[in-house]
Structure 1
Amino acid sequence: MTNRKRNLKKENQAELNERKQQVLWAVVQDYAETAEPVGSRTIARKYNLGVSSATIRNEMQDLEDAGYLEQPHTSAGRIPSVKGYRFYVDRLMEPAPVSGEEQNLITKMMGAHRARLDDIFRDMAKIVASLTHTLSLAASSTARQVRFNYIRFLPLDGRRVILLAVSDRGDVTNVVVPMPADTTMDELQLIADKLNHFLHGRNVNTLNENLILSFQKDVERDLSGFSRIFGELSRMLLPHQKVYTGGAAELMEQPEFQNVERMQDILNLLEQQDTLQGMLSETMEKPIAVHIGTENVSKALSDLSIVRAQFTSDGRVLGSIAVMGPTRMQYGKIIGVLYYLQQELNQLLKKS
């Protein structure tokens, strides 16, 4: 091993010196803006680092040897690697301030919906996509907070009744179910009254077979004939978390996605609601997390970066937004917008 590489290895094990950090920062900035590999002359001309092009070229070579930069073609400039982006995000990047115009847009949207979180997250996906030119996914967690309010039975004919279910949020659903054998309408409504008392205020996710068995013991009656009704009740009240998307057209404009097959992969991913819900509902240790390229577990996301923000209030998770784009995305801009959204939503909820 040469002395130069030996010294570089020692330096890399500690941290990059200030000049190398400046060069890495400039390469990330320029590549994010142009989508073109960056050369030393470009850095010397545009970023005023106070050193010659030759010095910058040597620093870029050191950064490549240490794994922070890559050279896609022999004669081309260099681009950041996943390692380079990670160092940039963790050590060099500053969240960009949100402009007055952008603040007004966000404030107007939140004011229009007040505390209707589903509507807020739906429109946040659109706003984030338009401000950052990326694909945005959003979902509120209110589905997991819905509680049972009451049910009613309405007569339909001699064999069937309408089961009406209402949540604490006022959501009303209904379904036609068969009348249990040897049961009158009065008996059916008596069961409904007791069930309303037994389940009132419970989270709808707890409506399972064990709870129904407990109810059966409480009323001291065989309710096997009601199995169809209990099954429909669980299905009706259990809400389905909706994933809102925005910015698919914005993503298609990025040079990385001019390939039709690559864009089709993204569109196919957007149809996989369970996968998207799983990604948005994962527990987060920090309010905002960044996963770059191969840091993503899914192979389909290995050439993408995902910036995810979680929104909380009084320890309760309200929902999350994930911004998806090429690894050369504007991390500072995106994180700045997401931080601002988190602050504004908290302020809105305090006033509600």
Structure 2
Amino acid sequence: MSANNKVIMMAARRTNKNEPHVGANELNERKRKVLWAVVQDYADTAEPVGSRTIAKKYNLGVSSATIRNEMQDLEDEGYLEQPHTSAGRIPSIKGYRFYVDWLMQPAPVSSEEKSMIDSMLLDHVTKVDEIFRNMAKAVSSLTHNLSVATSAGIKKKFNYIRFLPLDGERAILLVVTDRGDVSNAVVEIPKGSTFDEMQLLADRMNHFLHGRDIDSMDEKEILTFQKDIEKNLSPYVNVFKTLQRVLTPQQEVYSGGASQLIEQPEFKNVEKMQDILNLLEQRDMLESMLLSSSDQPIAVHIGTENPMKSLSDLSIVRAQFSSGGRVIGSVAVLGPTRMQYSKIIGMMRFMQDRLDQLLKNKE
């Protein structure tokens, strides 16, 4: 039995009880083999697939005429489409969905790919946001598709603040977290106060707030601090507002691979490519897509399954990354519906396991 045929036989026996809405038994074994082969060939060539091609390349053990009949049945049932009268077939959205849910086996990651991913993760394991920034670049390079990523952030604790003199009316506010992250902003010295008084206030605040979660710091915290030091802090309202702004985590969305997506034949159309470039400007929408809750560590949305019209020509494979039971970020690959799902999903699973292992070792 050929290697291709072994993979097909494995895929044909696959079951998934977590997807009851998908008709697992809708296709018999031979139709599954034919659909699998069409998806594989179209992903490789971007050309409609004919029955003679399947018979020649995939050793299904049946004639070209039998394969042609099976392909006609698959088209009648909505799993394949015929873009032109004289052309071969291509998978439909329904066909891709059946393939992803029932036929696909995640591809193993090569030793070269493992080395590249390990190097990227180890170089940035101390800063999660840097991991996701570089993961977006690595994934796009390895999959030849567009990728976007964001970090959900890790809870940080207040370490200390310090003021540095800038001029007679302004000072530089430095804020340092327990993870060593440093933020800064320029603040005005309140009228009637001196720089030395601001530094004294910083010392008192460092003692009061040290080790507290930054996420929980709010106006109530400041009022408690005011009561604790028995000092009217109203002149420092703007200073505290600046402090709160600096401490608020800034969500970043990182992307990579737009130039590689342009090379895909589906996006030679200038208008389609412009739609995708416009998509990258919609940071709020991308952030929502990446961090929306999901009970699946890896989710696949194919073409028109995507809720937004701008994504209807794309497939999205999104992986959530967790540490200690908490989602710390997500990476999504965006590409044509004929993307190599098995390769991408295999790579995502490998990265999920590797990052989780590295973070556990770090702790």
**TM-score when scaled to structure 2?**
0.86
Which one of the candidate residues 60, 63, 76 is aligned to 1:65? 76
- Counterpart in the other structure of 1:199: 209
Separation in 2 of the partners of 1:158 and 1:122?
39
- Counterpart in the other structure of 1:250: 260
Counterpart contact for 1:115–1:348, Cα < 8 Å: no
Q: Which one is further off, 15-24 or 195-204?
A: 195-204
1:104 aligns with 2:115: yes
- Counterpart in the other structure of 1:296: 306
Output one character per residue of 1:25-63: Cα deviation in whole Å (capped at 9) or x when no partner: 111111111111112222222212122222222222222
Q: Does the C-alpha gap of structure 1 residues 217 and 29 become closer, same or farther in structure 2, counting only changes over 3 Å?
A: same
Alignment of 1:315-326 (within 5 A): 315-326=325-336
Q: Does the C-alpha gap of structure 1 residues 110 and 173 become closer, same or farther in structure 2, counting only changes over 3 Å?
A: closer
CA apart distance, 1:177 = 1.7
Which one of the candidate residues 142, 145, 153 is aligned to 2:155? 145
Counterpart contact for 2:267–2:273, Cα < 8 Å: yes
Separation in 1 of the partners of 2:189 and 2:301?
53
Partner AA of 1:125 in structure 2: A
- Counterpart in the other structure of 1:95: 106
Separation in 1 of the partners of 2:30 and 2:192?
85
Unaligned runs of 5+ in 1: 1-11
Q: Secondary structure of the equivalent of 1:145?
A: coil
1:224 aligns with 2:234: yes
- Counterpart in the other structure of 1:123: 134
Q: Secondary structure of the equivalent of 1:270?
A: helix
Q: Secondary structure of the equivalent of 1:150?
A: strand
Which one of the candidate residues 308, 315, 319 is aligned to 2:318? 308
Q: Secondary structure of the equivalent of 1:183?
A: coil
Partner AA of 1:150 in structure 2: Y
- Counterpart in the other structure of 1:161: 171
Separation in 1 of the partners of 2:181 and 2:360?
24
- Counterpart in the other structure of 2:288: 278
- Counterpart in the other structure of 2:249: 239
Q: Does the C-alpha gap of structure 1 residues 104 and 173 become closer, same or farther in structure 2, counting only changes over 3 Å?
A: closer
Output one character per residue of 1:111-151: Cα deviation in whole Å (capped at 9) or x when no partner: 33343333332222222212211111122233x52322211
Q: Which one is further off, 25-34 or 54-63?
A: 54-63
Partner AA of 2:216 in structure 1: T
Output one character per residue of 1:148-195: Cα deviation in whole Å (capped at 9) or x when no partner: 221123344443333222122222233222222333444433432332
CA apart distance, 1:84 = 0.9
CA apart distance, 1:288 = 1.0
Output one character per residue of 1:265-314: Cα deviation in whole Å (capped at 9) or x when no partner: 11121122222222222222121111111111111111101111111122
Which one of the candidate residues 30, 37, 41 is aligned to 2:48? 37
CA apart distance, 1:220 = 4.1
Which one of the candidate residues 181, 185, 193 is aligned to 2:191? 181
CA apart distance, 1:13 = 8.7
Separation in 2 of the partners of 1:233 and 1:100?
47
Q: Which one is further off, 174-183 or 286-295?
A: 174-183
Q: Does the C-alpha gap of structure 1 residues 208 and 27 become closer, same or farther in structure 2, counting only changes over 3 Å?
A: same
- Counterpart in the other structure of 1:47: 58
Separation in 2 of the partners of 1:21 and 1:13?
10
Partner AA of 1:286 in structure 2: Q
Q: Which one is further off, 31-40 or 195-204?
A: 195-204
Q: Does the C-alpha gap of structure 1 residues 346 and 272 become closer, same or farther in structure 2, counting only changes over 3 Å?
A: same
Partner AA of 1:136 in structure 2: S
Partner AA of 1:164 in structure 2: L
Q: Secondary structure of the equivalent of 2:293?
A: coil
Q: Which one is further off, 147-156 or 17-26?
A: 147-156
Q: Which one is further off, 105-114 or 35-44?
A: 105-114
Partner AA of 1:116 in structure 2: K
Partner AA of 2:37 in structure 1: A
CA-based RMSD of the aligned residues comes to 2.1
Q: Which one is further off, 132-141 or 194-203?
A: 194-203
Q: Which one is further off, 146-155 or 283-292?
A: 146-155
Counterpart contact for 1:129–1:135, Cα < 8 Å: yes
Separation in 2 of the partners of 1:63 and 1:266?
31
Q: Across the two proteins, how many residue pairs are aligned to each other? A: 340
Which one of the candidate residues 316, 333, 352 is aligned to 1:342? 352
Partner AA of 1:57 in structure 2: R
Separation in 2 of the partners of 1:15 and 1:40?
21
Which one of the candidate residues 75, 78, 82 is aligned to 2:93? 82
Separation in 1 of the partners of 2:63 and 2:264?
32
Counterpart contact for 1:128–1:136, Cα < 8 Å: yes
Q: Which one is further off, 215-224 or 168-177?
A: 215-224
1:333 aligns with 2:356: no
Partner AA of 1:31 in structure 2: Y
